[in-house]
Amino acid sequence: MAARSFLHFRYPPEVLLLVSLAIALPMFEAPKNILWGAWVAVWFVARWKEGNWGGGWNIWDTLITTWVVSVLLSAIFAGATHKEWNACRDVIRYTSILWLLIRSNYSESAWKVIYVAVAISVIVASIWAMLALAWPHKYLGIQLNSVGHVNHSVIYIVICFGALLGGLAAYWQSVPLRWRVAGVVGLSVLLIAACFSGSRAAASAMMLQALGLGVLWLRRGPRFLLVAIVSVVAFAAMIVGFDTEIWRKQEFASGSPHPVLGARYQIWNQALVEWRMHPIFGIGNSNFDQAPESDVKNWLNSRGENYPDNTYAVSSHAHSLYLNALAERGIVGVASIVALLAAFVASLLRGLPRPDDPPIHWLLWSGAASALLAIAGIGLVNTTLHNEPALLAMLLLGGWVGYSRQRFGTTAIKNQAAPVTQRRLRVASGPSH
């Protein structure tokens, strides 16, 4: 039915391109830029023909513009010359997804198709990645084919897990049994993939997602929370009982000089000293590794400070969203990111789902909350706002913010499918949609 419904959407080419992008993100590298560029071009053409750009200037436009400007300033006034301009492309790519979706006003049926595409693609990609472990390989953990490094792959998986969990709960009563079974199997696949990743932060985030949504679901009844508790206990037992990479990593960290931070201790010190060297605009986008030991030592010595052994370490990034932004973009850059994240938090708190809210509200809220938890929460210990995880996060956050602006603003989000499709999907009428 989804294929037949594309023609009934108000913006069928846009929805088709977003679905294609969602499928390509974790699996195929080459099509992503093409699909993103095509979606942006089609979006602008459609809005130009309509003369409707999604309303006037608002606080979100200001926050996003500030974010982009801070990135450009970091390139202009970079403390080192290397990749600072090339890195701007990644930011522009995922920022445009957020910005345009906030003004898109897609329908419930369109978002359901997009979320299904996100879920199916990550499940297939995760199975593919786990099967690849059977062949000789040089990397640790699990790697989604297009996402790459295990740290980035598991962030992507965490975002999808929360979105799928929330969507399955929201539409549990209205979908056939086969879809419920498929959803539960999909969640199990993502949990197993997280075990192979060896990421303690990811495992904690997934358990927090399940328990948090269960507590929120108490507004409707206790059943979901009980299921969440049982699932979390089973997941924790699987980690401990089967001696997964997560448990081995924890044992290794416990025996290190810095059992909590591990190797991040030296890297975070490096980030702080790079920020001190270039406090306003930073060392430049993606230039974290452009401050070698000799430069840091000379700078500290010039200030009468020592360079203790095993205190600083050069890395490709700071393994922290906030410290990485501080080092590469300075005070200006980190302030713009924190402001935008705070706005996301405020939007989610304002739209906290109530028992009588429609399923689309629970779906988009859960997806956005999952994206924010992964980006901002895991961002404490890893550089999360990058490439595929950033694109996915901005897709889900943009969907929620666009919906909430319509619902809590002047007009409601409308299901723009044809009347026959509306009846088939039993979309409720009224301002809550």
pLDDT by residue for the chain (433 residues), tens digit each? 444 555 566 778 899 999 999 999 999 988 998 999 999 999 999 999 988 888 889 999 999 999 999 999 999 999 888 888 888 888 999 999 999 999 998 989 999 999 999 999 999 999 999 998 888 777 677 889 899 888 899 999 999 999 999 999 999 989 999 999 999 999 999 998 988 887 788 888 999 999 998 898 888 888 888 888 988 888 888 777 765 666 666 666 666 666 566 678 889 999 999 999 999 999 999 999 998 888 888 899 998 888 887 788 888 889 999 999 999 999 999 999 999 999 999 999 999 999 889 999 999 999 999 999 999 999 998 989 888 999 999 999 999 999 998 887 643 334 433 333 333 333 333 333 3
Per the CB < 8 A criterion, the answer to whether 2 and 23 are in contact is no
User: What pLDDT shows up at residue 35?
Assistant: 95
Instruction: Give the residue extent of every domain in the chain.
Output: 2-256+317-425
What is the C-alpha radius of gyration for the chain, rounded to an integer number of angstroms?
A: 22
Residues 6+ apart with CB under 8 A from 422: 415
Q: DSSP label at 290?
A: G
Q: The pTM is what? A: 0.88
Distance between CA atoms of 250 and 11, rounded to whole angstroms?
49
User: What pLDDT shows up at residue 6?
Assistant: 54
Amino acid at 433: H
Per the CB < 8 A criterion, the answer to whether 364 and 403 are in contact is yes
Residue owning tokens 């028992």: 355
| C-alpha pair distances (Å), 62 with each of 58, 396, 406 | 7, 20, 18
User: What pLDDT shows up at residue 9?
Assistant: 66
User: What pLDDT shows up at residue 198?
Assistant: 76
Instruction: Provide the token pair at 66.
Output: 């500030």
Amino acid at 397: L
For residue 66, report the phi and psi dihedrals to the nearest 5 degrees. -60, -40
User: What pLDDT shows up at residue 8?
Assistant: 60
| C-alpha pair distances (Å), 43 with each of 57, 162, 245, 396, 398 | 18, 28, 44, 17, 14
Per the CB < 8 A criterion, the answer to whether 341 and 350 are in contact is no
Instruction: Provide the token pair at 47.
Output: 């809005």
User: What pLDDT shows up at residue 410?
Assistant: 42
List alpha helices for 255-386, DSSP H. 264-277, 293-302, 321-350, 359-372
| C-alpha pair distances (Å), 138 with each of 34, 142, 149, 199, 315 | 30, 11, 11, 18, 19
Per the CB < 8 A criterion, the answer to whether 192 and 131 are in contact is no
User: What pLDDT shows up at residue 422?
Assistant: 38
- The C-alpha angle 58, 59, 64, rounded to 5 degrees, equals 105
User: What pLDDT shows up at residue 247?
Assistant: 63
